Amino acid sequence: MSNSRLMKRLKAEIQDLEENPVSNCSAGPLEDNITHWKATIFGPENTPYENGIFKLDIQFQPDHPFRPPKISFITAIYHCNISKSGSICLDILKDQWSPALTISKVLLSLCSLLSEPNPDDPLEPEIAKLLKNNKKEHDSLAKEYTLQYANDNDKV
């Protein structure tokens, strides 16, 4: 894909986010680099992540939208589908990617992942095991993590 097509697509994504903001999320390019974005997800209500502010790094590949963006959590999170290094196990960021997907839809999917973890496809097997066997303890640890790492807007 030519660089000008990529730029056109990313500008359309920015416009879409401005015109149709995603609840509990925001995203946009860093300074003068339209292919490198930062995003923020506010922890969904009635989850252990509630009141947390989670920062993400988004890197669009030169062949976007034919390949998914590389997205990782910067903010530490206790979640079975998100590794300690911030990698995310989400099908639409891997083999279920479609050029029709926008960053808005990806952010919505990430919010859903926070609300509904998938312990059957974990990046963190121990967390998945705890979620399956003792949800109350899992949620308590996730909430503790959220309070420790995701409650200060200035922390990255």
| Residues that are catalytic | 89
Q: Say if residues 112 and 18 touch (Cβ distance below 8 Å).
A: no
Q: Which two tokens stand for residue 73?
A: 């959590």
* Residue partners of 102: CB distance under 8 A and separation at least 6: 13, 16
Rounded distance, CA 127 to CA 77, Å? 11
Phi, psi dihedral angles at 115 (to 5 degrees): -75, -35
Buried b (16+ CB within 10 A) or exposed e, 118-138: ebeebbbeebbebbeeeeeeb
Q: How many CA atoms lie within 13 A of 55 on its CB side?
A: 15
Rounded distance, CA 123 to CA 146, Å? 18
